[in-house]
Amino acid sequence: MLRRTAIPPVRSVLIYPREDGHARTTLLDAVEYLRAQGVTVVVPSEVDKVEGADGVAAQSLRDVDLIIALGGDGTLLRASRWAARAGIPVLGINLGELGFLTAYHRDEARVALAAAVRGELAWEPRLRMRVEVRRGDELLASETACNDAYIKHGDVPRLLLLATEVSGTHMATYKADGLIVSTPMGSTAYNLAAGGPIVAPGTQCLTITPICPHSLTHRPVVVPGDSEIRITYAGPNDISAAFLTVDGQRSVELKLGDLVVATVASEPLQLCPPGVSVFKVLATKLGWNSGSA
């Protein structure tokens, strides 16, 4: 059972809307409602000016009690980069169709806002992943992922050679289109599409899933959360490029010999989860038929 931490009645909220403008009506309604309840509302400074809400930069979240993402899972992940960095709970209101991570649907937006104002929300910890790219003695990049990090070929489709170690032990040299390392929260994202396992929230582990492996014997592997995963880009050694992408948002071009290191991050994401079990979410989102007792 995951530990839940109650969120006191909010007095200041940051609303992070999806970037295509389709959240604007919901955003304006949320700002109007929260302000009427005496709640201060801010939006990211890159969002167009919203009447009743002040713009704020990511480093200026000291007094924010809750971050609300208006959109799908992608929007929630972008908002989570702000939330996790500042140690603030994040709540997702889904404006799309699927949405594994969001707690409420568009039609329940007012219900969600009222719960925040009344102090009826709670957050659960979700494991995050630290991802580094090393080129010789140089630390080329350092990112934190809520969902996943994957290595994949560039514009020229080529099988990559990815030598993979787990906690100092060589596991495999994958010959594949790419390789995904995912958190339990990310197991329902690219990992699921690539045939990887669905991992229940709260499980302390990371999953390694090859993308279209050349060998049929290569299968997804689940490793303990205290593991250090080291992936060396070992080929091909021609002009074909490979890229590391973190949460579908940050990409780093890799060169032959570059090392990608993945470990569990020290601080979890504080996520307001759906009000039903993960299995109910899966049954609803994936169309599973549970049958009758």
DSSP per-residue string spanning 109-161: HHHHHHHHHHT--EEEEE--EEEEEEETTEEEEEEEESSEEEEEE-SS--PEE
Domains of the chain plus CATH, in order, are 5-127+269-286 (3.40.50.10330), 129-264 (2.60.200.30)
Catalytic residues: 73
From its phi and psi, is residue 206 left (phi > 0), alpha (psi between -120 and 50) or beta? beta
pLDDT tens-digit map of 263-291: 999 999 999 998 766 677 777 777 776 55
> For residue 245, what are the β-bridge partners?
150, 251
Least confident of 13-22, 42-51, 258-267: 42-51
> For residue 15, what are the β-bridge partners?
68
Q: Mean pLDDT throughout 50-58?
A: 61
Predicted TM-score (pTM) of the model is 0.89
pLDDT at 50: 65
Determine contact, residues 260/131, Cβ cutoff 8 Å: yes
pLDDT at 277: 67
Q: Mean pLDDT throughout 172-180?
A: 96
- Residue 177 structure tokens: 């289109």
pLDDT tens-digit map of 105-148: 999 999 999 999 999 999 999 999 999 999 999 999 999 999 99
Least confident of 88-97, 202-211, 257-266: 88-97
Assign 157 a pLDDT band (cuts: 50, 70, 90): confident
Determine contact, residues 92/104, Cβ cutoff 8 Å: yes
DSSP per-residue string spanning 25-74: HHHHHHHHHHHHTT-EEEEETTSPP-TT-EEE-TT--TT--EEEEEESHH
Distance between CA atoms of residues 58 and 47, nearest Å: 12
Is the previous residue joined to 236 through a cis bond, with omega within 30 degrees of 0? yes
Q: Which amino acid is at 139?
A: L
pLDDT at 49: 59
Greater pLDDT, 200 or 229: 229
| Cα–Cα nearest to 194, from 171, 217, 177, 172 | 177
